[in-house]
Amino acid sequence: MAEISQIIKDIESENHTTKHILQQLLELVMSLTGRGRINDDYTKTIEFPIGENTIIFDSYYQRVWINTSDEEKEIEDEEEIELVSKEIKRRILQFDTQIKGMREKISSEIFDKPLKRKKND
């Protein structure tokens, strides 16, 4: 399995728009965390909860919204989309670091136990 940091570098190194990079990062974080959802309709809209907000990315029309409890705001400014992407990236890398530590601990707890075998008399 490729390292998460390398996957992110690959996403960012491609010559894509900031919206496409955000879309790829949202798809990555969804697959890593199991959070969020992609609508089944033709738009393939991504909804990802983060903090008290929801990032909504309409893949078909390439539109981005941030929903809060009291408003829905479309983001059209490339700089703001880039800031959201950087924050998602930062959190993905933080998640990856913390999950690696937990994975090692749990792996040791489970797989360092002696193997149970049938005794031959």
Instruction: Tell me the pLDDT tens digit for each residue of 32-69.
Output: 999 999 999 998 999 999 999 999 999 999 999 999 88
Instruction: Tell me the pLDDT tens digit for each residue of 72-91.
Output: 899 999 999 999 999 999 99
Question: Can you tell me the distance from the alpha carbon of 82 to that of 74, in angstroms, rounded to the nearest whole number?
Answer: 14
Which segments of 7-104 are extended strands (E)? 37-38, 46-50, 53-58, 63-67, 72-75
Report whether 65 contacts 73 (CB < 8 A). Answer: yes
Question: Can you tell me the distance from the alpha carbon of 27 to that of 19, in angstroms, rounded to the nearest whole number?
Answer: 12
Global confidence as pTM: 0.83
What are the phi and psi torsion angles at 66 (to 5°)?
-120, 120
User: pLDDT at position 1, please?
Assistant: 55
